[in-house]
Structure 1
Amino acid sequence: MMNKCFFFLISFLLFCFSISTSKAQTANFMVKAGIGWATILNSPQSDENGFKPESRLAAHLGVGIRKSYTDKIGVQGELLFLQQGANLAKDDSLTLNFNSAGLSALVFYKIVPALELEIGVQPTYTFSLKNNYDKDLSNVWTNWRFDGALLLGMRYLITDSFAIAPRIRYGVRPIKTNFFYTTDGVSYITVENRYNHFNAGISFEYIFGN
């Protein structure tokens, strides 16, 4: 619970701060959309007691606001719709679909005028969890509603208004945890499977007012 509150609080404060100071600094609004690959990381991986998810196509769409405070450093906030998940079978016969809303808060650093490095956090709320047969899995899975992720990416400005932005996203909060026991003689060992979101993709962005 504390992890959820922390991620939402930090993101909300940074997002509001960038908007509230827009009168003193030039703020640029943006729209963005993109595609990529998503999966669920399993640690430790187990054939017998856990599954090994594989990557699937992911997508995102949203809006944002960005502001430069110096020639090199600025902040950016985003409100995104995310479609992510994983394939649970090699022939794609079973797919998990997570439909989420995320609030991103990032700091960017201009390496050169047309190239930026960005790092931030993104809490998300998942409002739908289904498989590809449209079956609701909300009663099967636990702890999947809220996720907090770390973001790392870059942005290349093709023009003053159009940019491409590759980014990776790692969910630090397990969306599912399984416990099971293995035997070694007469001893029992508790093994934990933790499933975390992982995404890698690219955004196409249009920035207004540049």
Structure 2
Amino acid sequence: MKKIILGIFALLLFGNVSAQGLDLGVKAGVNFANITDASGLSNRTGFVAGVFLGGKLNDNIGIQGELLYSQQGAEFELGDFNLDYVNVPILLKYYVKNGLNLQLGPQFGVIVNDEARTVVGEVIDDIATNDFDIAGVVGIGYDIPLGLRVSGRYQFGLSDVPEMGKGKNSVVTLALGYSFL
């Protein structure tokens, strides 16, 4: 998996990407997350932040890789289930008109925090989660002049969150970015 991700970043840096179409920047936003197929859970609101590197392959097609810290999980009646990931989405971007683009691709995540807390602050340690997450991403974005980037995405989990049981990540993300190039 690491070789695939490194290969895509190498393609971005040394492949058929024009310097004019290169996009390097930072982004931040808000996540509205939940875990599907699990009863008694509701949305958890968290933040997402990181960096992106992308480029246009031609007038209509681009590719973008990102490295993001993402707060996900869910809330339940007596507390919350915090799942924080470092995610690497690799997105194909289809430019519809001007800066408007549609986004599609896989996302690979590594969990960096997994804890459940009750309303009294007690940590519940008996919920085992998978360390690695695979998801699909679909979204829409707009590249505003002066380097601003706006995007809305839906991330649908392809792998189960708990080690024993069912439930996949489901995340809506709204983000604002700035490109330095």
TM (norm. structure 2) is 0.88
Identical amino acids, percent of aligned pairs: 23
How far off its partner does 1:134 sit? 6.3
Matches within 5 A, 1:130-209: 130-132=115-117, 133=121, 135=123, 137=125, 140-176=126-162, 178=164, 193-209=165-181
Q: Aligned match of 1:12 in 6, 28, 32?
A: 6
In 2, distance between residues paired with 1:200 and 1:110?
A: 21
* Counterpart code for 1:30: G
* Range with greater deviation from structure 2 (8-17 or 24-33): 8-17
Q: Separation in 1 of the partners of 2:73 and 2:61?
A: 33
1:95 and 2:80 aligned: yes
* TM-align CA RMSD: 2.0
Length, aligned pairs only: 176
2:90 to 105, 125, 128: 105
For residue 78 of structure 1, what is the aligned residue in structure 2?
Answer: 66
Any conservation in 1 of the 2:31–2:72 contact (CA below 8 Å)? no
Point out where structure 2 has 5 or more consecutive residues left out of the alignment: none
Structure whose residues are more often strand by fraction = 2
Contact 2:31-2:71 at 8 Å conserved across structures: no
Q: State the partner residue of 1:186.
A: none
In 1, the alpha carbon distance for the partners of 2:6 and 2:127 equals 28
- Runs (4+) of structure 1 exceeding 6 A deviation are none
State the alpha-carbon separation in 1 of the partners of residues 10 and 40 from structure 2.
Answer: 39
| Aligned-pair CA distance for 1:131 | 2.2
Question: Quick one: which amino acid aligns to residue 37 of structure 1?
Answer: F
In 1, Cα distance between the equivalents of 2:7 and 2:124?
34
Q: Which consecutive unaligned segments of at least 5 residues does structure 1 have? A: 46-50, 179-192
* Cα deviation digits, residues 24-52 of structure 1 (max 9, x gap): 6222201000003100001xx6xxxxx33
Q: Distance in 2 between matches of 1:143 and 1:12?
A: 26
